[in-house]
A and B are shown apart, each in its own frame.
Chain A
């Protein structure tokens, strides 16, 4: 080593860029980079030229013109006189709603199936194997279409609920109607409503805001309650009973508030051609939600199983030796350690679910793909702009999800010192 640094410096020649191993790697990288930039520039240039040849300009101005089409469901205020930009936002919200719901149910389903597949009960374990293998090996689109077909073909039409001798009836004490249009659920309603705050971005329902505020205060109150109990316990060694106090802290203010607002449930009822009132979960939504959940749930089950199997058998034996029941062993010893292995592949499952929501096109779910990437493109003819915008949005959503999950991952990761 010392010899080398003492050696006289050779003068630099251009040929050394390729002949000298010290420079070669770097010069190859620089050349590859330049070629990549040139290729990209050529593609962009080509696109611009071809657009010009077709007489099209590149502009996002179409986003502010009137959309002209209706979207249902819409989470924010929207009508056919709204702009294409607003239609895109409505579509984006629909994408996010179904993605979030599917992520939650797929996780629940996946964890259950993954744990049960390791069960000592032969039937349960085999059943879960059948679930995982059949759902994992059929394309997600087929599951979505199958659920949609079952919903629209096998369920009764709203007119079957009508008349003196209806062939179909509502379930759960006449509160839920399952029809081939979708499922009508009762929704909370307030007879002494606080009204809503209107802003440019949509209306804020003050009732729900009040409920959330009270809930937040209750959570804070309970936290101080538990902290106090902790202090008493560390001082006296005896933990005061907190469960009924917690219950009181949560229940009392909420019940008072709901009573003051005149809380009741609004039930769906047949009116005209369809049910009205209540909340309609459309077929397209249910198909997409269930389809994606069962499909991705099968993958998550495998992640969970591999995570659990990676934990040494000794951990379980040690927990049993300490007298922990199998359930508590799983909850307190195995799962917390397994999470470290489960979370990274779980991130990519969540990303998959989010991107797969674009399959909603097949069943007529009005997500980002069918608003901005479908009808808007059709009515305005701005394929390139809308597609680029849509890609940008999907990339942003995916990056945000993986960002959040990475933060979570770094929290459950083994703390190395």
Chain B
């Protein structure tokens, strides 16, 4: 009897995994909920607040996708993942989309069989040290004990940087972000290394942020973006164009406040196409014409998302820099809606 139950559970588990890879959009709509993989707690990108509601850039992106696909920005189940579990969670179908400050690399795209929807934050790996350490640049870190969150591109960049510069270090691998902070604050390591945005977010949560500095050296390129399983092009298109819709909205001056008014029709054909007044872009995507309008109305355009979560008015205080629109000297270049 026990044997049969065990076998039945196994069979059910393997079958559901099989079904999940059939058509993600149909699955999500049938379920009525989007399963979105996020970090467990990284202020500004994804972290639950005191009442358990999730906030952050990565969270807002998932809400935008849910608004486009399910017509409800709150129809999202946020699944906290670690650097180690995220890819397994996505590959197995436990989550539909991974929006977890994940660096777009060749091997993840090609070898791990994922499709990146684009870049929602251009970042680079940096170092944070206590001011009292006296280090002015990453070159001063020879012999340092370095805390790293494992399962990231970070540890590869770190190894490469120290090897290239002929310096030594002692790696302390830590499973999650909270432990990294605790070890660093206890002085069990001299340095934390991570993406610059992550360090800024970590520092903002410290009691005395001014006692810690982020060294000016940026040792890698970290284009962070949401990703989905490879082989489901329709779902990948939804993910890619939702991201682009948020970026294009900023470019076209569409905000969460004026989107309702603009969707009635304007003299700008691109705005009309994006908001579903002209052409039938939504239908091509397998959605209704108002998909992008809902996405923008629920979380705002990219600029609003940035300003609300990580911008210079927030405790994290990041400048737009590389993440400004291409028209303002940044790298954000929304693809044309045509």
Name the CB-closest residue of A to B169. A70
Task: Give CA–CA (A377, B189) in the complex, Å.
Answer: 25
Any chain B CB within 8 A of the CB of A55? Answer: yes
Quick check: A70 and B171 within 8 Å, CB to CB?
yes
Any chain B CB within 8 A of the CB of A358? Answer: no
Quick check: A378 and B160 within 8 Å, CB to CB?
no
- Name, among B21, B172, B188, the residue most crowded by chain A CB atoms within 10 Å (CB to CB): B188
Quick check: B150 and A374 within 8 Å, CB to CB?
yes
Any chain B CB within 8 A of the CB of A362? Answer: yes
Residues in A neighbouring B229, C-beta threshold 8 A:
54
Q: Contact mask B48-74 → A, CB, 8 Å, 1/0?
A: 000000000000000000000000000
Of B10-18, B33-41, B192-200, B209-217, the stretch lying at the interface with chain A is B10-18
Any chain B CB within 8 A of the CB of A329? Answer: no
A-B pairs with lowest CB-CB distance, top 6: A80-B159, A152-B188, A157-B187, A381-B112, A378-B151, A272-B143
Task: Give CA–CA (A53, B15) in the complex, Å.
Answer: 12
Quick check: A46 and B84 within 8 Å, CB to CB?
no
CB-defined A-B contacts under 8 Å, sample of 6:
A69-B156, A274-B170, A364-B175, A370-B173, A374-B151, A378-B150
Residues in B neighbouring A153, C-beta threshold 8 A:
186
B143 touches which of A56, A274, A282 (Cβ 8 Å): A274
Q: Would A273 and B155 be within 8 Å (CB), given that A80-B160, A152-B183, A378-B150 are in contact?
A: no
Q: Would A273 and B141 be within 8 Å (CB), given that A72-B170, A366-B173, A375-B151 are in contact?
A: yes
Any chain A CB within 8 A of the CB of B319? Answer: no
A contact set with B: CB distance below 8 Å: 39, 43, 46-47, 49-50, 53-56, 68-72, 79-81, 152-153, 157, 159, 180-181, 271-274, 276, 280, 282-284, 361-362, 364, 366, 370, 374-375, 377-381, 383
Any chain A CB within 8 A of the CB of B133? Answer: yes
- What's the nearest-Cβ distance from chain B to residue A197, in Å? 25
Residues in A neighbouring B174, C-beta threshold 8 A:
364
- What's the nearest-Cβ distance from chain A to residue B27, in Å? 14
Quick check: A378 and B83 within 8 Å, CB to CB?
yes
- What's the nearest-Cβ distance from chain A to residue B130, in Å? 9
Quick check: B21 and A180 within 8 Å, CB to CB?
no
B159 touches which of A54, A70, A274, A380 (Cβ 8 Å): A70
Residues in B neighbouring A53, C-beta threshold 8 A:
18, 21
- What's the nearest-Cβ distance from chain A to residue B160, in Å? 7
Task: Give CA–CA (A370, B88) in the complex, Å.
Answer: 16
Name the CB-closest residue of B to A381. B112
Residues in B neighbouring A272, C-beta threshold 8 A:
142-143
- Name, among A152, A283, A370, A378, the residue most crowded by chain B CB atoms within 10 Å (CB to CB): A378
A283 touches which of B112, B142, B171, B188 (Cβ 8 Å): B188
Name the CB-closest residue of B to A69. B155
- Name, among B144, B151, B158, B172, the residue most crowded by chain A CB atoms within 10 Å (CB to CB): B172
Task: Give CA–CA (A159, B112) in the complex, Å.
Answer: 43
Residues in A neighbouring B88, C-beta threshold 8 A:
383
Quick check: A43 and B163 within 8 Å, CB to CB?
no
Residues in B neighbouring A68, C-beta threshold 8 A:
155-156, 159-160
Residues in B neighbouring A271, C-beta threshold 8 A:
143
Scan residues 118-170 of chain B and give those whose CB is less than 8 A from a CB of chain A.
132-133, 141-145, 150-152, 155-156, 158-160, 162-163, 169-170
Quick check: B87 and A378 within 8 Å, CB to CB?
yes
- What's the nearest-Cβ distance from chain B to residue A371, in Å? 10
Quick check: A380 and B170 within 8 Å, CB to CB?
no
Q: Would A72 and B150 be within 8 Å (CB), given that A274-B144, A380-B111 are in contact?
A: no
Quick check: B145 and A181 within 8 Å, CB to CB?
yes
Residues in A neighbouring B132, C-beta threshold 8 A:
159
Task: Give CA–CA (A55, B108) in the complex, Å.
Answer: 13
Residues in A neighbouring B155, C-beta threshold 8 A:
68-70, 375
Residues in A neighbouring B21, C-beta threshold 8 A:
53-54
Quick check: B14 and A152 within 8 Å, CB to CB?
no
- What's the nearest-Cβ distance from chain B to residue A68, in Å? 4
- What's the nearest-Cβ distance from chain A to residue B165, in Å? 13
Q: Contact mask B1-34 → A, CB, 8 Å, 1/0?
A: 0000001001000100110010000000000000
Task: Give CA–CA (A81, B175) in the complex, Å.
Answer: 23
Name the CB-closest residue of A to B13. A46
Q: Contact mask B171-191 → A, CB, 8 Å, 1/0?
A: 111110000000100111110
Any chain A CB within 8 A of the CB of B230? Answer: yes
Any chain A CB within 8 A of the CB of B231? Answer: yes
B18 touches which of A50, A56, A284, A370 (Cβ 8 Å): A50
Name the CB-closest residue of B to A153. B186
- What's the nearest-Cβ distance from chain B to residue A358, in Å? 13
Residues in A neighbouring B188, C-beta threshold 8 A:
152, 180-181, 283
Residues in A neighbouring B159, C-beta threshold 8 A:
68-70, 80
- What's the nearest-Cβ distance from chain B to residue A229, in Å? 52
Quick check: A50 and B143 within 8 Å, CB to CB?
no
- What's the nearest-Cβ distance from chain A to residue B106, in Å? 12
- What's the nearest-Cβ distance from chain B to residue A56, in Å? 7
Any chain A CB within 8 A of the CB of B113? Answer: yes
Name the CB-closest residue of B to A36. B3
Residues in B neighbouring A379, C-beta threshold 8 A:
107, 156
Any chain A CB within 8 A of the CB of B91? Answer: yes
Task: Give CA–CA (A55, B230) in the complex, Å.
Answer: 9
- What's the nearest-Cβ distance from chain B to residue A57, in Å? 11
Task: Give CA–CA (A159, B188) in the complex, Å.
Answer: 11
Name the CB-closest residue of B to A377. B84
Task: Give CA–CA (A18, B20) in the complex, Å.
Answer: 44
Task: Give CA–CA (A157, B142) in the complex, Å.
Answer: 17
- What's the nearest-Cβ distance from chain B to residue A355, in Å? 19
Residues in A neighbouring B107, C-beta threshold 8 A:
379-381
Task: Give CA–CA (A68, B292) in the complex, Å.
Answer: 41
Residues in B neighbouring A364, C-beta threshold 8 A:
150, 172-175
Residues in A neighbouring B113, C-beta threshold 8 A:
54-56, 381
Task: Give CA–CA (A152, B302) in the complex, Å.
Answer: 41
Residues in A neighbouring B156, C-beta threshold 8 A:
68-69, 80, 379
Name the CB-closest residue of B to A152. B188
